[in-house]
Amino acid sequence: MFFTRKTEKRQNGETPDTELRSGPTRLCTKCPNRYHVGMATKRIVFTALFAALTAACGFISIPVPGTPLPIVLQNMMVVLDGLLLGPVWGTAAVVLFILAGLIGLPVFSGGTAGITRLMGPTGGFIIGYAIAALVAGLIARRPVIGKKAPVVRLALAALCGFAVMYIPGVFHFMKTMDKTFTETMALCILPYLPGDAVKLVLSVVIAIPLRKSVAQFVFQADADETEGEVQ
């Protein structure tokens, strides 16, 4: 009886149910809601993971004598958040990281936390983290399966991400410490430019291979929808 129905469906040009249930996109074909909920869960998990990685980078903190800021990997990680997750989810990862610090988790550089850290002289740089992820993500764009982002675009995204990161930090430091622009640049920007240049190159080198993996694991649903529209 089963095989008769299956044969009749083929003769009528219909696809048998067993074939609809097979293949990598079976949830999208039979249960689209379950499929998209699963992909949304993946994106939330990856967002939390990148937020945790951003926090972990803050524990590697090297003080610079005569300056208010230590050398950390967090500024490179927030740029990577944008390069790998795109503007929406990359910024969400950084915002989640900031919120974790505001509620008392020791995620800021040197294991610090709290609203006082954000309102302090160097708190503007933490706000700049979110802007950096957004700008880097907007320029680099979200990873897409089968589409390789040009290295020049990734490099430009990283450069702009690092550049805008300092804007709120500089102005906040000038206001809270009553420093001139020249003094602030000498204390908070110039000593870190060589290291940031190295981090910029590393962020691009890391992003190139990882964007392909992120596209496959995090943004597969978008590729399936595009294929469905083409078909």
How do the pLDDT tens digits run along the chain, 231 residues long?
444 454 454 555 555 554 444 444 444 444 555 545 577 888 999 999 999 999 999 888 888 888 888 899 999 999 999 999 999 999 999 999 999 999 999 999 888 999 999 999 999 999 999 999 999 999 999 999 888 899 999 999 999 999 999 999 999 999 999 999 999 999 999 999 999 999 999 999 999 999 999 998 888 755 444 444 333
What is the pTM for the complete model shown? 0.79
* SS3 assignment, position 104: coil
Instruction: Enter the tokens of residue 67.
Output: 């300056």
CATH fold of the domain at 33-217:
Arp2/3 complex 21 kDa subunit ARPC3 (1.10.1760)
Quote the pLDDT of residue 217. 86
Strand partners for 147: 144
Q: Is 33 exposed, middle or buried (0-12, 13-18, 19+ CB in 10 A)?
A: exposed
Q: Which of 125, 128, 121 is nearest to 178 (CA)?
A: 121
Distance CA 149, CA 161 (A): 17
Distance CA 94, CA 57 (A): 12
Distance CA 133, CA 222 (A): 21
What is the distance, to the nearest Å, from the Cα of residue 45 to the centroid of all Cα atoms in its chain? 12
DSSP alpha helices (H): ranges in 103-192? 115-119, 123-140, 151-177, 181-184
Quote the pLDDT of residue 44. 92
**Contact between residue 227 and residue 94 where contact means Cβ atoms under 8 Å apart:** no
* SS3 assignment, position 71: strand
Distance CA 122, CA 20 (A): 56
Positive or negative, the CA dihedral 193, 53, 145, 165 is negative
Q: Which of 66, 88, 62 is nearest to 199 (CA)?
A: 62
SS3 content of the chain, % helix, strand, coil (to 5): 75, 5, 20
Place of tokens 């074909």: 29
Distance CA 57, CA 223 (A): 32
Quote the pLDDT of residue 150. 94
Query: Residue type at 154?
Result: L
Q: Is 177 exposed, middle or buried (0-12, 13-18, 19+ CB in 10 A)?
A: middle
Quote the pLDDT of residue 41. 86
Strand partners for 144: 147
